[in-house]
Amino acid sequence: MDIRQRLATNLRRLRLEKGWSQEEFADQAGIHRTYVSDIERGARNPTITVVERLARPLGMSPSELLA
Amino acid sequence: MDIRQRLATNLRRLRLEKGWSQEEFADQAGIHRTYVSDIERGARNPTITVVERLARPLGMSPSELLA
């Protein structure tokens, strides 16, 4: 699995574990909902700074989100 | 330490442990030497696909490189 797909799978799983919609999560991460949707489909190649923003509301490190 | 600085510090340490110059490492990663230099100064915000390319010649996962 390539790294974009790994991020996609992890993000979707962790967001759903929190019971958050994409929109709720996007608001917390400070990222547009469509961008979250694209990342969860593996359709984006985000920078490490974006990964840091995704990880924060999940209470995880960027490294864990890519593991 | 922000994620760019963490990547910078890890990359520099691991590259030097291998005894590689920035140019030798860049050749193996398939990335321009000046881009490697910028990353090692924390002056770039690379995508996760670039982190994957950096990790490969070091025999590490992208996640480990950001840990």
**What pLDDT sits at residue A1?**
79
Indicate left, alpha or beta for A30 from its phi (over 0: left) and psi (-120 to 50: alpha).
left
Are A66 and B48 an interchain contact pair (Cβ–Cβ within 8 Å)? yes
Sort out which chain A residues have CB atoms less than 8 A from B51's CB and list them.
Answer: 3, 48, 66
Task: Answer yes or no: is the ipTM higher than 0.95.
Answer: no
The residues on A that touch B, with CB distances below 8 Å, are 2-4, 7, 45-49, 51-52, 61-64, 66-67
For chain A, how far is it from start to end, CA to CA, in angstroms? 11
- What confidence tens digit (pLDDT) does each residue in B12-63 have? 999 999 999 999 999 999 999 999 999 999 999 999 999 999 999 999 999 9
Domains defined for chain B, CATH in brackets:
3-65 (1.10.260.40)
Mean pLDDT of chain A: 97
What integer is the mean pLDDT of A42-66?
A: 97
3-class SS shares of chain A: helix, strand, coil, % to 5: 70, 0, 30
Q: How far is B26 from chain A (nearest CA, A)?
A: 19
Q: Determine phi and psi for B47, rounding to 5 degrees.
A: -75, 165
User: What SS3 state is found at B47?
Assistant: strand
pLDDT at A18 over 90: yes
**Residue range A25-47: average pLDDT?**
98
The whole-number pLDDT of residue B1 equals 79
Query: How close B52 gets to chain A, by Cα (Å)?
Result: 7
Of A45, A50, A39, A31, the closest CA to residue B50 belongs to A45
